């Protein structure tokens, strides 16, 4: 071997991990680098099969391919996973080259490698981190999904609870309306009593006269009183009918004349207004027609009139006057109920439409009158109601659309 070649050999051996085997794979040479990386001494290696550094993870096929290649006198290149004496793993980029003799037959194999353990380890660490990351990512995804599902559930529960609360509120409203209806019924009975006072005393007189005629044998007189009594009784029964109609709930919306509605209300209140010495002044434009639930609107106006009546007697007002007026303004009907009972104190002005707000003794007021009136006007009639103090009293103004 020339000197130059010897230098090449040394350069290769110094910078690489080199081993040689015979044609059967028995180690015939190792350099220091090989001993260092494998952990074996040269003595331990020489004469052993090269598979001494084989790693159990490496599949058999790899070795079959290796041997197939090099026995065909070709160079084999691979990144090999090997096992050192202490069981640790090292990776080497390996090139195995068959060395041929003069006759072209394989004499031995030389394997030249360099250490890529740290590269591979890094790559593997990276891979495992990547896997960890992927895992975390998928965990995150499932957790996000889980949270989303929980949130959705919560949302649904919330919706359910809102619906429940709404239902409860509706129930409360229903109760309130029932309460108000009971109160109205009480008032109705007292109104009927007022309406009946006069015909009842009339009947008393008729009975007395009848008895007198009967004793006198005045049959014609008896007959006349009898007819009279029948008329009075018919009138009394009509009063009941009027009340019944007035308080029965409307089944559907209808067109009705404001004038008719107000007159109906006043005919029902006639007795009690007379007793409270309230004079009523009407100022209603002819032909104003509203569309909606007549009895409900009547109820609202009745509540306003009852309030005025209460204010008159609470405050012992002289010259009690109630003004009810109605006119058209564009596409609206304006209805006003005004009294001269002193008006509403500024401090309670913004509370009077609240449910259960009352300044009256518990036995005299539930505080629902104006609340119900407001609900009826806003919800059933799409209108508004407001109040202002003027002309020594309260003026309630209702505004409802004409269509």
Residues near Mg ion (CB under 5 A) are 307, 369
Binding partner of residue 341 among ligand ATP, Mg ion, none, CB cut-off 5 to 8 Å per kind = ligand ATP
Which tokens hold the place of 221? Answer: 């007189």
- Cβ 314 to ligand ATP, closest distance in Å? 8
Record the tokens describing residue 88, joined without a space. Answer: 């640790």
User: Taking the complex as a whole, how short is the minimal distance between the CB of residue 250 and Mg ion, in angstroms?
Assistant: 22
Residues 6 or more apart whose CB falls under 8 angstroms from that of 333 comprise 258, 288, 290, 326, 327, 399, 400, 401, 402
Select 199 or 355, whichever has its Cβ closest to ligand ATP.
Answer: 355
**In DSSP terms, which residues pair with 333 in a beta bridge?**
328, 400
Select from Mg ion, ligand ATP, none the partner in contact with residue 311, using the beta carbon and a kind-dependent cut-off of 5 to 8 Å: ligand ATP
Strand, coil or helix: 21: strand
Q: How many CB atoms lie within 10 A of CB 221?
A: 15
Q: Residue 259 and residue 403: Cα distance in Å, rounded?
A: 17
386 φ/ψ sector (left φ>0, alpha ψ -120 to 50, else beta):
beta
By beta carbon distance, the residue nearest ligand ATP is 369
CA 195 vs CA 206, 207, 270, 271: distances in Å:
18, 19, 7, 5
375 binds, among ligand ATP, Mg ion, none (CB under 5 to 8 A by kind): none
Backbone angles phi, psi at 17, to 5 degrees: -100, 115
The secondary structure of 231-263 as a DSSP string is HHHHHHHHHHHHHHHHHSPPSS-EEEEHHHHHH
Residue nearer to Mg ion on the CB measure, 225 or 307: 307
- Shortest gap between Cβ of 243 and ligand ATP (angstroms)? 18
Q: Which C-beta is closer to ligand ATP: that of 187 or that of 202?
A: 187
Q: What angle do CA 290, 295, 298 make, to 5 degrees?
A: 75
Residue nearest to Mg ion (CB): 369
Per 3-state DSSP, what percentage of the chain is helix, strand, and coil (rounded to 5)?
55, 20, 25
Minimum CB–partner distance for residue 402 and Mg ion (Å): 28
CA angle 52, 53, 55 (to 5 degrees): 115
Nearer to Mg ion, 19 or 307 (CB): 307
Q: Residue 376 touches which of ligand ATP, Mg ion, none (CB < 5 to 8 A by kind)?
A: none
Q: Which is nearer to ligand ATP, 35 or 311 (CB)?
A: 311
Asked if 229 and 203 touch (Cβ cutoff 8 Å), the reply is: yes
Contact 392, 317 (CB under 8 A): no
Q: Looking at the DSSP assignment, which residues form a beta bridge with residue 292? A: 254
352 interacts with, out of Mg ion, ligand ATP, none, CB within 5 to 8 A per kind:
ligand ATP
Q: Nearest approach, Cβ of 307 to Mg ion (angstroms)?
A: 4
Residue 339 touches which member of ligand ATP, Mg ion, none, C-beta under 5-8 Å by kind:
ligand ATP
Closest CB 269 distance from ligand ATP, rounded Å: 15
Cβ closer to ligand ATP: 329 or 350? Answer: 350
Q: Which is nearer to Mg ion, 183 or 284 (CB)?
A: 183
Query: Which of the listed partners (Mg ion, ligand ATP, none) does 269 bind, with a CB threshold of 5 to 8 Å by partner kind?
Result: none
H runs (alpha helix) in 72-218 = 117-215
Residue 348 structure tokens = 């309670």
Indicate which of ligand ATP, Mg ion, none lies near residue 301 (CB less than 5 to 8 Å, by partner kind).
none
Residue 358 interacting entry, from ligand ATP, Mg ion, none, C-beta within 5 to 8 Å by type: ligand ATP
Interacting residue ranges for ligand ATP, rule: CB under 6 A:
183, 303, 307-308, 310-311, 339, 341, 344, 352, 357-360, 365-371, 394
CB of 243 to Mg ion, least distance (A): 19
Nearer to Mg ion, 13 or 173 (CB): 173
Nearer to Mg ion, 45 or 297 (CB): 297
Return the H-helix or E-strand segment holding 343. none
Least distance to Mg ion, CB of residue 369, Å: 3
Shortest separation between residue 328's beta carbon and Mg ion, angstroms: 28
């Amino acid at each position: 071997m020339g000197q130059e070649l010897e230098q090449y050999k040394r350069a290769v051996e110094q910078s690489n991990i080199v081993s040689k085997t015979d044609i059967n794979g028995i180690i015939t040479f190792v350099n220091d680098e090989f001993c260092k990386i494998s952990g074996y001494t040269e003595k331990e290696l020489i004469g052993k099969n090269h598979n001494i550094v084989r790693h159990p993870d490496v599949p058999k096929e790899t070795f079959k391919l290796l041997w197939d290649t090099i026995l065909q006198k070709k160079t084999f290149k691979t990144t090999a996973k090997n096992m050192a004496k202490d069981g640790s793993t090292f990776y080497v980029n390996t090139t195995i080259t068959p060395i041929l003799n003069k006759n072209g037959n394989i004499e031995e194999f030389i394997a030249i490698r360099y250490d890529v353990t740290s590269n591979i380890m890094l790559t593997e660490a990276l891979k495992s981190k990547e896997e960890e990351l992927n895992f975390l990512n998928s965990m995150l995804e499932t957790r996000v999904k889980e949270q989303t599902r929980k949130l959705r559930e919560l949302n649904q529960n919330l919706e359910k609870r809102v619906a429940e609360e709404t239902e409860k509120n509706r129930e409360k409203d229903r109760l309130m309306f029932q309460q108000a209806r009971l109160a109205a019924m009480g008032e109705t009975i007292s109104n009927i009593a007022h309406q009946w006072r006069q015909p009842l005393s009339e009947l008393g007189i008729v009975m007395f006269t009848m008895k007198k005629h009967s004793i006198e044998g005045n049959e014609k007189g008896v007959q006349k009183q009898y007819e009279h009594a029948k008329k009075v009784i018919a009138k009394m029964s009509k009063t009941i009918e009027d009340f019944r109609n007035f308080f029965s709930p409307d089944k559907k919306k209808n067109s009705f004349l404001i004038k008719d509605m107000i007159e109906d209300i006043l005919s029902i209140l006639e007795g009690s207004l007379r007793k409270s010495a309230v004079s009523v002044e009407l100022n209603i434009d002819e032909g104003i027609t509203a569309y909606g639930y007549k009895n409900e609107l009547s109820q609202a106006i009745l509540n306003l009139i009852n309030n005025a009546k209460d204010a008159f007697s609470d405050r012992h007002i002289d010259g009690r006057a109630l003004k009810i007026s109605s006119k058209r303004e564009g596409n609206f009907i304006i209805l006003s109920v005004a009294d001269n009972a002193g008006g509403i104190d500024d401090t309670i002005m913004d509370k009077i439409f609240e449910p259960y707000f009352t300044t009256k003794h518990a036995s005299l007021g539930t505080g629902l009158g104006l609340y119900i009136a407001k609900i009826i006007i806003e919800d059933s009639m799409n209108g508004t109601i407001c109040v202002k103090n003027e002309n020594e009293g309260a003026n309630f103004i209702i505004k409802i659309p004409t269509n």
